Amino acid sequence: MQTMMENRPCPSCGSADTAFLGEVQKTMHQQFSFERFSMQRCPSCEMIFLGQELARDDFAAMYEQSLQFDGSVYRDQETIRIAKEYYGSCYRKLISEIGTVPTDARVLEVGAGRAWMCMVADEIGKAIAVAQDVTAECATECPWVDIYVVGEITDPRIREFGPYDVISITHVIEHVPQPVKFLAALRSLLHERGRMFVTAPHRPRGWSHGSPMSEWETWSLNHVPGHLQYFSERAMQVAANDSGMQLVGWSLHEEGEAFEAILSRT
């Protein structure tokens, strides 16, 4: 087991000039390369992130060797109703902005899990819906998906159905160790008029720079080391620009606990 070290530059702007906010304990039961983790803040782009670089075995333990969607809540009818209402509203807004007829739309959901965005895209207009995840946990449970790719986003089957009018990344980007590289790869799959929809945890409710880190550890969306970074608006702007896109929409939800971002190609 390694000792706690801070050796990870800002995952958005790449700056190594970061500030130590405090320590956080792991919230997952698996064994990882570290038991304690540092929380860092980038003064340049205001990204908050874990300071440690995780090993390949850490990611395998979190995602490939454990179940993410086995709880009954993911199959509960009220949960499904709420998901349809939320993602349906987001999807209608996105295709309206780009002027795509629902029956002509192509949708890619990355890190899809139960593939809620694909579900509403299929129900609203029988769109071509492609889902991707690194595990097969939900691959056979989503009949509304045309193809569920179990593999990396570089899998050639994904490109076959593109370019995509909508690429949805919901509660995924916080798990990705190199988010700028990740966004650049997805940009190559996005239609020139398309939109990328990103939502993820933002900050504990009421938290601001200078608030105690104890508020972070009691936050329900604090998952260590599953959540590697928490974007600010500035960090998302930088990441979008460096990946060949631009941030065209940003809003906070759930009293600041989550954000929504919309990106387009430049």
Residue 190 is part of which domain span? 76-265
Neighbours of 26 (CB within 10 A): 16
Tens-digit pLDDT string for the chain (266 aa) = 454 555 799 999 999 999 999 999 999 988 999 988 999 999 999 999 999 999 999 998 888 777 777 777 777 889 889 999 999 999 999 999 999 998 999 999 999 999 999 999 999 999 999 999 999 999 999 999 999 999 999 999 999 999 999 999 999 999 999 999 999 999 999 999 999 999 999 999 999 888 888 899 899 999 999 999 999 999 999 999 999 999 999 999 999 999 999 999 99
Nearest Cα neighbor of 41 from 195, 188, 230, 174 is 230
Residue 98 lies in a domain: yes
Residue 107 lies in a domain: yes
Residue 186 lies in a domain: yes
Residue 223 lies in a domain: yes
- The CATH number of whichever domain residue 200 belongs to comes to 3.40.50.150
Cis peptide before 225 (omega within 30 of 0): yes
For residue 63, the model assigns a pLDDT of 87
Q: Which amino acid is at 142?
A: C
Residue 34 lies in a domain: no
For residue 68, the model assigns a pLDDT of 77
For residue 69, the model assigns a pLDDT of 79
Residue 140 lies in a domain: yes
Residue 177 lies in a domain: yes
Residue 68 lies in a domain: no
Number of domains in the chain: 1
For residue 4, the model assigns a pLDDT of 53
